Amino acid sequence: MAHAIEKTIIEPTEMQSNHKLDSAISRARDYLLRQQHKDGHWCFELEADCTIPAEYIIWTHFTGDLEPELGRKLAVYLREKQADHGGWPLFYDGKLDISCSVKVYFALKLVGDDINAPHMVRAREAILAYGGAARSNAFTRLTLAMFKQIPWRAVPLVPVEIMLFPRWFPFHLTKVAYWSRTVMVPLAILYSLKAEAKNPNKVDIQELFTVPPEKERNYFPARSRANKILLYVERAVRLIEPIIPSFIRKKALKKAETWVVERINGIDGLGAIFPAMVNAHESLILLDYPLDHPIRVIAKKSIQNLVVDHGESAYCQPCVSPVWDTGLAALALQEVENGRTTNQVIHALDWLKRKQILDHPADWQEIHPNLKSGGWAFQYNNAYYPDLDDTSVVAWAMDQANNSDRYGESITLACDWLRGMQSRNGGFASFETNNMHYYLNEIPFADHGALLDPPTVDVTARCVALMGRLKRSEDSESLKHALSYIRNEQEPSGSWFGRWGTNYIYGTWSVLTALEQVGIDPKEEFIRKAVHWLQEVQRPDGGWGEDNYSYYDSFIAGTYKESTPIHTAWALLGLIAVGEGNSTTVKRGVEYLLTNQDKNSWNHLAFNAPGFPRVFYLRYHGYDKFFPLWALAKYRNYINNLC
């Protein structure tokens, strides 16, 4: 394995001085508290790959409502992120991604970059070497079709008539993930009305095609045998699409419009995620909502609110993460105080309490009409789409506050809702229940392979942690089933896959932390196997790191070219949770964090989570502000308890 090569081991010092450890914790705690907003919450930047800021520029040229100064700043950011290979990757230090690179090139050309400028030449050569723009994914080709760069036959079928399919049909909106729904419904409007961008400067990117787009015949290479069959089905459907009665299309368009408008979510936008927001705004334009219509105005504002302006450069976030950041920051600060909840954390928990979603329409209710609401969303407001991960973390922090009069009802509602959202295999997904219609990932539109929201170990672990803490009799069967799911999902190496954080180190931390809350004996063989794996992948400098390419190749699980503070913190939290706090492995990891702390906190450029494995990655800027702090505090508490 990659981590088995010969190393020069750096041993820890004889003993980290209490003063050094205390000082590091105090500085990191004080820094984190300075980032707290006046109303009690935290919200750190959430950075994705360059697709999102490029799409922001493209969106303004679709509408014709240009933002020249912001476009200039976004272009600065995009140029800065160009990699040595000439294109743009999906995460820091990654390989060229053809779809991202095509969109960035297009965006830079839209803002006026000369195609003969050195950075544009390098980008164009790299894109052509990868097969050109025709090899980009379905979402990119849909954009290019709207800008009349490729014919509509080059994009997958997304007819608005999907709104009329009955639930028993092989495809139905309830059978895909929330993010797929919110993106697809307005996109179906754009596809069915054959949206045409204004493109005021009439910019084209024909130089990015190896074959003229009208002559290209290979827009849909078969991904699998099932996909090949579905491609033939789609071609047959295309033949009948022109003869669909107009009254059916009109009915479907109205249903799609109603669906979008009901979920527009005010200033936070449809689904509170950038792609859905952009599609919603563009679809409102096609549906003839006037420029000053309140819904169209607020849909536009929701997109603009995602921009992060750093002065000379700017980028656009895919969404914001205030509930997640606040819940995790609260847990870290509670650990700093050895379980005590300070006034600052109470302030944060009170803010979170007000964000709990109660008695509001939501998509999950279609499957669970009699289940009482009690979840939290990831963003400031996203009432149609609470998620189980945030709900578990927030309720965990509230329970740790040991104030049942203040938070007891919120915790009970949360745990009852979570139990009701458990999937049949014992696991918990992020937003859905039993969302395992895997054949849908084979449809031509789903070339990203992320149409679904099946149960995952990391989310399940968080639900287990909460149930384990609460020890309610009504949760006992659910907890037993979830623990069985976790055991069955353990990798042969002893690790667990991390769906929402990179990757096996994140998944393993999630599980070991949950098992601590349940009270599972850390001497059990499956736990020792996980401990051994973490020890095995520790790097020579005492830290841990993991490459996002472990989502492509599990052989490199738990390895990276260097250690990162976040992966080190996750490994330490997991190890200490199962009784390894006084081990040499943990002491070396603590020494790495102490050595690599800057004046106040930690900072590393590596992307630390997937939005969708192999497709979309994220850098949570808050992770290295609260996870290393949490790990050091947990270590201090463990050592102090030994004394």
Indicate which residue of 97, 325, 389, 624 is catalytic: 389
Q: Would you call 197 helix, strand, or coil by DSSP?
A: coil
Question: Which residue carries 């900072």 as its tokens?
Answer: 603
Enter the DSSP assignment of 308.
E
> Could you tell me which of 541, 581, 588 has the C-alpha nearest to residue 560?
541
Q: Is the CB of residue 267 less than 8 Å from the CB of residue 302?
A: yes
Per DSSP, the residues of 374-409 read --B-SSS--TT--BHHHHHHHHHHHHHTT-HHHHHH
Enter the DSSP assignment of 371.
P
Helix or strand run (H / E) with residue 314: strand 314-316
Q: What is d(CA 328, CA 42) in angstroms, rounded to the nearest whole number?
A: 10
Q: Which two tokens stand for residue 221?
A: 């290479």
Q: Is the CB of residue 630 less than 8 Å from the CB of residue 337?
A: no
Q: Torsions phi, psi of 516, nearest 5?
A: -60, -45
389 is catalytic: yes
Q: Is the CB of residue 165 less than 8 Å from the CB of residue 172?
A: yes
Cα dist from 366 to 101, 120, 172, 271, whole Å: 39, 49, 12, 17
Categorise residue 339: left if φ over 0, alpha if ψ from -120 to 50, beta otherwise: left
Q: Is the CB of residue 482 less than 8 Å from the CB of residue 463?
A: yes
- Residue 443 neighbours by CB under 8 Å, 6+ apart: 156, 171, 227, 230, 234, 451
- Residue 94 neighbours by CB under 8 Å, 6+ apart: 83, 548, 549, 617
Tell me the catalytic residues: 389
